[in-house]
Amino acid sequence: MVRWLLPGALIALLLAAPAPAASLSGTEWRVTRIAGQPVAEFKLTLEFPGARKFAGFDGCNRFGGRYSATATRLRFRGLFSTAIGCEGSTIPGLTDRLLRTRRYRLAGERLELRRRGRTLVVLRRR
């Protein structure tokens, strides 16, 4: 009986371990909705170029930083941004919503950034 317990315990540990976030690395996204509102006309982007880095465009400024992720959890940290003054309409809050993100859902061509059961940002693969 003892020799069956060890393989079972190892399998349980492997199944409980968080999956790596390789599915985000190397991907590029176009922001389609923020807080439920369509924003396609602003051409907002988010990229995960690799090595746990992210970058993007918020309609006025370029931004970037580092991220950490498991199979369902996602955190953005160390956000930096250019500081260009912009005229006209911009979408406030993209970078704020990135910093508030705690989870994500990736399904095919759609990425949802989430927190406490609510979708903060919806993106489509570029």
Query: What mean pLDDT comes out for the span 59-84?
Result: 94
Q: Which CATH class is domain 18-125?
A: mainly beta
Per-residue pLDDT at 96 exceeds 60 = yes
Indicate the SS3 state at residue 47.
strand
Distance of alpha carbon 88 from alpha carbon 14, whole angstroms: 52
Query: pTM score, two decimals?
Result: 0.79
pLDDT at residue number 13? 44
Predicted confidence (pLDDT) at residue 90 exceeds the cutoff of 70: no
| CA–CA dist 52, 62 (Å, integer) | 17
Whether 14 has a pLDDT exceeding 90, the answer reads no
Q: What is the mean pLDDT of residues 15-33?
A: 75
